[in-house]
Chain A
Amino acid sequence: MENRTPLVEMRNISIAFGGIRAVDNVSVDLNGGEVVALVGHNGAGKSTLIKILSGAYRRDSGSILINGQEAQIGNPRDAKKYGIETIYQTLALADNIDAAANLFLGRELRTTWGTLDDVAMESEARKVMGRLNPRFQRFKEPVSKLSGGQRQTVAIARAIYFNARILIMDEPTAALGPQESAQVAELVLQLKADGIGIFLISHDIHDVFDLADRVVVMKNGQVVGTVSTSVVTEDDVLGMIIVGKCPPGAVPGPGALQLANSVKAG
Chain B
Amino acid sequence: MSLPVRFLKATELDTRMLGMLAALAAIWIGFHIASGGLFLTPRNLWNLSVQSASVAVMSTGMVLVIVTRNIDLSVGSLLGFIGMIMGVIQAEILPAWLGFGSPAIWIIALAAGAAVGALVGALQGYMIAFLGVPSFIVTLGGLLVWRGAAWWVTSGRTVAPMDATFRLMGGGPDGAIGAFWSWIVGFVACAALAVMLIQARRQRRKFDFPLRPFWAECFLAAIGCVLILGAVAVANSYPWPAGIVRRYAEASGITVPEGGLFISHGIAIPVLIAIGVGVVVTFLAKRTRFGRYVFAIGGNPEAALLAGINTRWIVMKVFVLMGILTAIAAAISTARLNAATNAQGTLDELLVIAAAVIGGTSLGGGVGTVVGAMIGAVLMQSLATGMILLGVDTPLQNIVVGVVLVVAVWLDTLYRKRIR
Q: How far is the CB of A98 from chain B (nearest CB, A)?
A: 11
Within 8 Å of chain B (Cβ to Cβ): is A75? yes
Is B306 touching A56 in the complex (CB atoms < 8 A)?
yes
Contacts of A119 in B (CB 8 A): 203-204, 206-207, 209
Within 8 Å of chain A (Cβ to Cβ): is B252? no
Contacts of A94 in B (CB 8 A): 295-297, 299-300, 303-304, 366
Within 8 Å of chain A (Cβ to Cβ): is B292? yes
Is A56 touching B305 in the complex (CB atoms < 8 A)?
yes
Contacts of A114 in B (CB 8 A): 288
Flag A74-98 by CB within 8 Å of B: 1 or 0 each.
0111001000001010111111110
| Pick from B298, B300, B367: contact of A92, CB under 8 Å | B300
User: Given the known A-B contacts A88-B306, A119-B207, are A95 and B289 also in contact in the complex, defined by CB atoms under 8 Å?
Assistant: no
Q: How far is the CB of A16 from chain B (nearest CB, A)?
A: 21
Flag B123-158 by CB within 8 Å of A: 1 or 0 each.
000000000000000000000000000000000000
Q: How far is the CB of A109 from chain B (nearest CB, A)?
A: 10
- Find residues 308-367 in chain B having any chain A CB closer than 8 Å to their own CB: 308-309, 366-367
Contacts of A97 in B (CB 8 A): 292, 295-296, 299
Is B289 touching A116 in the complex (CB atoms < 8 A)?
yes
Is B292 touching A101 in the complex (CB atoms < 8 A)?
yes
Q: How far is the CB of B9 from chain A (nearest CB, A)?
A: 12
Is B302 touching A92 in the complex (CB atoms < 8 A)?
yes
Interface centre among A75, A96, A120 (most CB of B within 10 A): A96
Is A76 touching B209 in the complex (CB atoms < 8 A)?
no
Contacts of B288 in A (CB 8 A): 114-116
Q: Nearest A residue to B303 by beta-carbon distance?
A: A92
Is A101 touching B296 in the complex (CB atoms < 8 A)?
yes
Contacts of A145 in B (CB 8 A): 420
Q: Nearest A residue to B67 by beta-carbon distance?
A: A96
Is B289 touching A108 in the complex (CB atoms < 8 A)?
yes
Instruction: Report the bound CA distance from A108 to B209 in whole Å.
Output: 20
Within 8 Å of chain B (Cβ to Cβ): is A29? no
Within 8 Å of chain B (Cβ to Cβ): is A122? yes
Within 8 Å of chain B (Cβ to Cβ): is A153? no
Is B289 touching A76 in the complex (CB atoms < 8 A)?
no
Contacts of B307 in A (CB 8 A): 76, 92, 105-106
Is B306 touching A86 in the complex (CB atoms < 8 A)?
yes
User: Given the known A-B contacts A110-B289, A119-B204, A120-B207, are A92 and B296 also in contact in the complex, defined by CB atoms under 8 Å?
Assistant: no
Interface centre among B209, B292, B295 (most CB of A within 10 A): B292
Q: Nearest B residue to A92 by beta-carbon distance?
A: B303
Q: Nearest A residue to B364 by beta-carbon distance?
A: A96
- Mostly helix, strand, loop or mixed at chain A's interface? loop
Instruction: Report the bound CA distance from A108 to B420 in whole Å.
Output: 28
Contacts across chains A and B counted by CB atoms under 8 Å: 81
Instruction: Report the bound CA distance from A115 to B286 in whole Å.
Output: 9
Chain B interface residue count, CB cutoff 8 Å, equals 27
Is B207 touching A80 in the complex (CB atoms < 8 A)?
no
Within 8 Å of chain B (Cβ to Cβ): is A123? yes
Is B289 touching A96 in the complex (CB atoms < 8 A)?
no
Is A96 touching B309 in the complex (CB atoms < 8 A)?
no
User: Given the known A-B contacts A90-B302, A108-B292, are A123 and B308 also in contact in the complex, defined by CB atoms under 8 Å?
Assistant: no
Is A106 touching B309 in the complex (CB atoms < 8 A)?
yes
Interface centre among B286, B296, B302, B366 (most CB of A within 10 A): B296
Within 8 Å of chain B (Cβ to Cβ): is A27? no
Instruction: Report the bound CA distance from A54 to B307 in whole Å.
Output: 10
Is A122 touching B207 in the complex (CB atoms < 8 A)?
yes
Contacts of B417 in A (CB 8 A): none
Is A76 touching B308 in the complex (CB atoms < 8 A)?
yes
Is A96 touching B367 in the complex (CB atoms < 8 A)?
yes
Is B309 touching A105 in the complex (CB atoms < 8 A)?
yes
Instruction: Report the bound CA distance from A115 to B366 in whole Å.
Output: 20
Q: Nearest A residue to B366 by beta-carbon distance?
A: A96
Q: How far is the CB of B298 from chain A (nearest CB, A)?
A: 7
Q: How far is the CB of A94 from chain B (nearest CB, A)?
A: 4
Within 8 Å of chain A (Cβ to Cβ): is B6? no
- Find residues 199-218 in chain B having any chain A CB closer than 8 Å to their own CB: 203-204, 206-207, 209
Within 8 Å of chain A (Cβ to Cβ): is B287? yes
Enumerate the 3 nearest inter-chain pairs by beta-carbon distance, A residue then B residue, closest first.
A96-B299, A94-B299, A77-B308
The contact sample of 30 A-B pairs, CB cut-off 8 A, is: A56-B306, A76-B307, A88-B306, A90-B302, A90-B303, A91-B303, A92-B300, A94-B295, A94-B303, A94-B366, A95-B300, A96-B298, A97-B296, A97-B299, A101-B296, A102-B303, A105-B304, A105-B307, A106-B308, A106-B309, A107-B308, A108-B289, A110-B289, A114-B288, A115-B287, A116-B292, A119-B203, A119-B204, A120-B207, A122-B207
* With A108-B289, A120-B207 already in contact, 12 other A-B pairs whose C-beta atoms are closer than 8 Å: A76-B305, A88-B306, A92-B302, A94-B299, A94-B304, A94-B366, A97-B296, A105-B304, A115-B288, A116-B289, A119-B206, A142-B299
